[in-house]
Amino acid sequence: MENTSVKQIKTSIYKGLAKILGIVLLLVGIGAVYGGTFAGSFIEEQLGAQEITMPDEDSINGQLEGGRITQEDADALLPYAGEPMTNGNQA
């Protein structure tokens, strides 16, 4: 009989801990989403305020031909050529 009550107590404790862990993980997830959203909007706001424009295609090709950037860098820059820098991917 005592064995059954010990199992019930252990089951209650495990269920309680599982609920607490679930709540903690939910709060961590919400915090992570909020932090990511905040960071993204902060970067966009700061880059927008600086009004940086990405180099145009001729400029990028000139840098490549002059050996100042690699082909990999040029390939990464070309999709954003001439556009205002507004996000971390462009930076």
Residue 59 CB contacts under 8 Å (≥ 6 apart), including other chains: 81
pTM for the whole structure? 0.56
2 pLDDT band, cuts 50/70/90, is low
Buried-exposed string 4-17: b where 16+ CB fall within 10 A, e elsewhere: eeeeeeeeeeeeee
Tokens of 71: 């082909």
Kindly state the average pLDDT of the residues 23-36. Answer: 96
- Give the per-residue pLDDT at 1: 52
d(CA 50, CA 87): 12
Enclosing H/E stretch for 21 = helix 2-50
d(CA 72, CA 11): 57
